[in-house]
Amino acid sequence: MLTLEPFIENDKEYLLLEPWRQLHPELVVGFSTRVGGVSQPPFDSLNLGLHVNDSSKAVIENRRILAKKLGIPVEQWVGSEQVHRASITKVTAKDAGMGILELDSAIKGMDGIYTNEKNLLLTSLYADCVPLYFFSPKQMYIGLAHAGWRGTVKGIGPNMVKILSEDEGIPLEEIYVAIGPCISQEAYEVDEEVIAEVNHVLPEKHRKSCYHTNTNKGYQLNLREVNKCLLMESGIKVENILVSSICTSSDSRMYSHRTEAGKTGRMMSFIGLI
């Protein structure tokens, strides 16, 4: 069965998660591209990462460009430190602006943030890792999680599900998840060490769909599929999970840490209630 891509280009600067946005117009949710900003090579041009040795002035200008497009001022954005762990925290209006105009104010030690407050735009940065989006339409909770392979095997996706379910009282069947643009299995070769970590957390029944060996005796890892399987194991219904097919390594609209040997910018996942 043909599956339609859920992240649709709305403007050159960003993609929107159309299925969620159409059903819930109070949501601002999507993923930025690398197009339409002021950064110079190798960060050209809409680099939104303050931590990649780009000009901070250019990055802040890029963030303001996106803010104007989305209609949400940067002063209402929230960003976390992103340290490839699985720690998650709830954010409120008092956190508005953290990590947005300077790197040092980002919420420390966190790769996941969530809220039920309006007029906050949750943000997270990417250049191949997996962006996870969470939404509960009835309770109006939203969340973001940054899932590189380390965060994935540490369980950041299931951790968010557990927090929303146990701490906030949201039934599992009312939690929706979207897996955003990231590196594809074809572009993502990993070694035995990574696969051993994946096998440690992934039930055997899922392993065949998540990786295979290649001609170099390495492994091609489908990180988005690993996250999907772990989310299903944590109780999320498969019909409540949307998965992007966009590969950050091969799509010219995207930055790719692996393809560009680490010298590149960052895209941004974002979700907010207005």
List, as one string, the DSSP characters of 80-111.
Answer: B---SS--EEE--GGGTTTTTS-GGGSBTT-S
pLDDT at 2 over 80: no
pLDDT at 200: 96
Q: Does any domain span residue 74?
A: yes
Q: Does any domain span residue 192?
A: no
How many CB atoms neighbour CB 11 within 10 A? Answer: 15
Q: pTM for this structure?
A: 0.97
Q: How many domains does the chain contain in total?
A: 1
Fill in the amino acid letter for 184.
S
Q: Does any domain span residue 218?
A: no
pLDDT digits (tens, 9 = 90+) for 210-232: 999 998 889 999 999 999 999 99
How many CB atoms neighbour CB 40 within 10 A? Answer: 12
What is the token pair recorded at 107? 């919420």
Q: Does any domain span residue 259?
A: yes
Instruction: Give the E-state strand segments of 95-215 in sequence order.
Output: 112-115, 121-126, 130-136, 141-147, 176-179, 189-190, 211-213
User: Could you tell me the residue range of the domain that residue 63 belongs to?
Assistant: 7-186+243-273
pLDDT at 219: 97
Q: Does any domain span residue 115?
A: yes
Q: Does any domain span residue 254?
A: yes
CATH number, residue 148:
3.60.140.10
pLDDT digits (tens, 9 = 90+) for 145-174: 999 999 999 999 999 999 999 999 999 999
pLDDT at 107 over 50: yes
Q: Does any domain span residue 138?
A: yes
Q: Does any domain span residue 149?
A: yes
- Name beta bridge partners: 176: 135
pLDDT at 3: 64
- How many Å apart are CA 174 and CA 207, to the nearest integer? 27
